[in-house]
Amino acid sequence: MRRIAIANICQFYQSPIDQMPRTPIPDGYTIDSCSSDRLRSHAHELEYQIPERDFEMLDAGHARCFTAFQANSLAGFAWVAFGDIPGQMNHDGKPETGLPIQLSDDAALVFQVLVLPAYRGRRLYAAIMSQMADQLQTDGIQTLVLTTEGSNQRALKAVDRMGFQNVAQASLLRLGPLCRATYPTLSETSGFKLGRYVGDKH
């Protein structure tokens, strides 16, 4: 069935890595950058399938995955990507809401963070982000960028606790043949630029 109505609000957050609060690794856990082979070997522990595209980006050096393990059990992870981010990696589940992002050389996009249900309540989210920030900083990354839907209150609270600042908002509204897209005016200090929504045909 053809989708006749779409309402998307995409919030953009960023934080200088050196200003992010740091959370220590909980006792009994290790957090580090993970290879695609090791991640594949633990994929069966997840409730969803990691896209093959993400593994390919990891192998090509266009992305990194930071994982938390308790002994040999996967507890959580956070992915970051570099360079030009296609709309297929930044949408709310509807292809039309895909919004490409072009990152500066010293910025990285956080595009997937997950703590498995059995390990929640231990501040692993914050600990993974902290270790990721420390390692990326040594590689010359100065800014982390992420996006979330404007209606996702849980995600909005989480990024606020991590010290991210809301820096921009884009929206796509469509009803039948009528379409309206709005894009922010970004400052020169922003770590990213935006393309156009996939569904914006104007």
Domain boundaries, the chain: 5-194
pLDDT at 107: 98
Q: Which CATH number fits domain 5-194: 3.10.20.30, 3.40.630.30, 3.40.50.620, 3.40.50.2000?
A: 3.40.630.30
**CA dihedral for 5, 11, 183, 201, sign (positive or negative):** negative
- Does residue 90 surpass a pLDDT of 70? yes
- Does residue 1 surpass a pLDDT of 50? no
Tell if the pTM clears 0.85, that is, is over it.
yes
Tens-digit pLDDT profile for residues 158-170:
788 888 999 999 9
DSSP string, 61-122: TSEEEEEEEETTEEEEEEEEE-SEE-GGGSSSSSGGG---EEE-TTEEEEEEEEE-GGGTTS
- Does residue 193 surpass a pLDDT of 50? yes
- Under a CB-based contact definition with an 8 Å cutoff, are residues 126 and 162 in contact? yes
Joined together, the tokens standing for residue 101 give 């992002």
Going by the DSSP 8-state scheme, the letter that residue 48 receives in this structure is S
- Under a CB-based contact definition with an 8 Å cutoff, are residues 116 and 131 in contact? no
Biggest distance spanned by C-alpha atoms of the chain: 55
Find tokens 């053809």 and name the residue.
Answer: 2
- Does residue 150 surpass a pLDDT of 80? no
pLDDT at 26: 97
The residue type found at 94 is K
The residue type found at 99 is L
What is the pLDDT confidence band of residue 154, given thresholds at 50, 70 and 90?
Answer: confident
pLDDT mean across residues, the chain: 92
Choose the weakest-confidence range: 1-15, 94-108, 165-179.
Answer: 1-15
Q: What is the mean pLDDT of residues 120-146?
A: 95
Count Cα neighbours of 155 within 13 Å in the Cβ-side half-sphere.
17
Q: What is the mean pLDDT of residues 61-68?
A: 98
Q: What is the mean pLDDT of residues 169-186?
A: 94
pLDDT at 103: 98
What is the pLDDT confidence band of residue 189, given thresholds at 50, 70 and 90?
Answer: confident
- Does residue 48 surpass a pLDDT of 90? no
Instruction: Please give the Cα distance from 191 to 6 (Å, whole number).
Output: 28
Question: What backbone torsions phi and psi does residue 101 show, to the nearest 5 degrees?
Answer: -130, 135
* Strand duo 143-149 + 107-115: pairing: parallel
